[in-house]
């Protein structure tokens, strides 16, 4: 499948570039007579919080010693909220009681828009790691910040979350800035987040 927008994803015809009003220069299929906007992957990452203790669940994956957030790719046709519930269930066995959207960040290395949520769980007794997870651990807010993989997008999301007031207004105007170029050892999304299936997806 052509993912970089050179050919029409519906019919395979080579795309032209045409101007679309208010949108600029956009790939256009002359056969379908339709604009083909660039596509990219979408994934969710979760700050999984035990509501009773206010502890945060971090996981270890792929033999790496550092901790990351539970995460995975969104399936085509799936709502972000459903992906959050599914991924937390699949990777930890736990049921998300409710959730809150935090922020998003495009991750160029894997062409993925990462959407970060807080996923609150009430029953942590269901917790068990699946085959994708080496181990997991509940951390206090302070210890979670110390143990998350340095320089990762997961760290950016977690630190941003921890810096917000626990109640009251959200501050979207100052989300903080994550600079992938500043990372000397940028993890791949698979390393940083893990993803379901893994095999069929280039993560």
- The contact set with Zn ion (CB under 5 A) reads 8, 10-11, 13, 29, 31-32
Q: Which is nearer to Zn ion, 8 or 70 (CB)?
A: 8
The CA distance from 121 to 70, in Å, is: 13
Q: Which is nearer to Zn ion, 12 or 176 (CB)?
A: 12
The CA distance from 119 to 18, in Å, is: 42
Shortest Å distance, C-beta 31 to Zn ion: 5
Q: Of all residues in this chain, which one has the CB nearest to Zn ion in the complex?
A: 8
The CA distance from 131 to 89, in Å, is: 13
Q: Which is nearer to Zn ion, 12 or 150 (CB)?
A: 12
Shortest Å distance, C-beta 39 to Zn ion: 14
Residues 6 or more apart whose CB falls under 8 angstroms from that of 151 comprise 182, 183, 184, 185, 186, 187
Task: For residue 142, give both structure tokens.
Answer: 């302070």
Shortest Å distance, C-beta 32 to Zn ion: 3
Q: Which is nearer to Zn ion, 29 or 203 (CB)?
A: 29
Task: For residue 62, give both structure tokens.
Answer: 């792929």
Task: For residue 192, give both structure tokens.
Answer: 């940083």
Shortest Å distance, C-beta 193 to Zn ion: 33
**DSSP three-state, residue 147:** helix
Shortest Å distance, C-beta 18 to Zn ion: 13
Phi, psi (degrees; rounded to nearest 5) at 192 = -75, -30
Q: Which is nearer to Zn ion, 35 or 106 (CB)?
A: 35
Rg (CA), the chain: 19
């Amino acid at each position: 499948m052509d993912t970089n927008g050179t050919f029409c994803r519906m019919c395979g015809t080579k795309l032209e570039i045409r101007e679309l009003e208010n949108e600029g220069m956009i790939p256009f299929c002359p056969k379908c007579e339709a604009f083909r906007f660039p596509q990219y992957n979408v994934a969710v990452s979760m700050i999984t919080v035990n509501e009773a203790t206010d502890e945060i669940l971090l996981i270890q994956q792929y033999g790496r010693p550092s901790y990351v957030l539970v995460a995975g790719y969104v399936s085509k046709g799936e709502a972000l909220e459903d992906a959050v519930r599914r991924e937390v269930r699949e990777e930890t066995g736990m049921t998300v009681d409710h959730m809150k959207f935090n922020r998003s960040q495009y991750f160029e290395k894997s062409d993925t828009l990462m959407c970060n949520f807080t996923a609150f769980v009430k029953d942590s007794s269901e917790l068990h790691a699946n085959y994708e997870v080496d181990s997991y651990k509940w951390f206090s807010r302070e210890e979670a910040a110390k143990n998350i993989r340095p320089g990762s997008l997961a760290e950016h999301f977690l630190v941003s979350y921890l810096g917000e007031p626990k109640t009251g207004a959200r501050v979207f105007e100052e989300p903080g800035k994550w600079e992938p170029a500043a990372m000397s050892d940028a993890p791949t999304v698979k390393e940083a987040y893990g993803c379901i299936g893994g095999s069929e997806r280039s993560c």
